[in-house]
């Protein structure tokens, strides 16, 4: 099965890419995340989660969290801001 992140990592040939997290913002309405380490804050306007090396804060309206696998999640809604802290 094709994995977008695996293909980027192969092309970059940078081992450090595999040790952190991956985030894709799709048109400001879907945020796909690989490598999260737990949810810190959850509301329909803010979702904050841990990643290796810090915290990611997502702000918007009507945010809904879907956990796809242990370390993979999807956030839907009107995503206005994504910030690494």
Q: Residue 35 is part of a domain; what is its CATH number?
A: 2.60.40.2000
* β-strand partners of 74: 32, 66
Residues whose CB falls within 8 Å of the CB of residue 55, separated by 6 or more in sequence, listed in order: 40, 48, 49, 84, 85
Mean pLDDT throughout 34-44? 94
Residue 40 pLDDT > 90, yes or no?
Answer: yes
In a domain, 4, yes or no: no
Residue 28 pLDDT > 90, yes or no?
Answer: yes
In a domain, 49, yes or no: yes
Residue 70: pLDDT band with limits 50, 70, 90: confident
Give the total number of structural domains in the chain: 1
Angle at 34 (CA atoms; ends 28, 38), nearest 5 degrees: 100
């Amino acid at each position: 099965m094709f994995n977008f992140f695996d293909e980027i990592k192969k092309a970059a040939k940078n081992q450090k890419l595999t040790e952190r997290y991956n985030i894709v913002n799709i048109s400001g309405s879907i945020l796909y995340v690989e490598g999260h380490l737990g949810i810190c804050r959850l509301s329909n306007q803010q979702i904050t989660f841990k990643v290796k090396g810090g915290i990611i804060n997502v702000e918007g309206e009507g945010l809904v969290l879907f956990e796809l696998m242990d370390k993979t999640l999807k956030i839907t809604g009107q995503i206005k801001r994504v910030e690494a802290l």
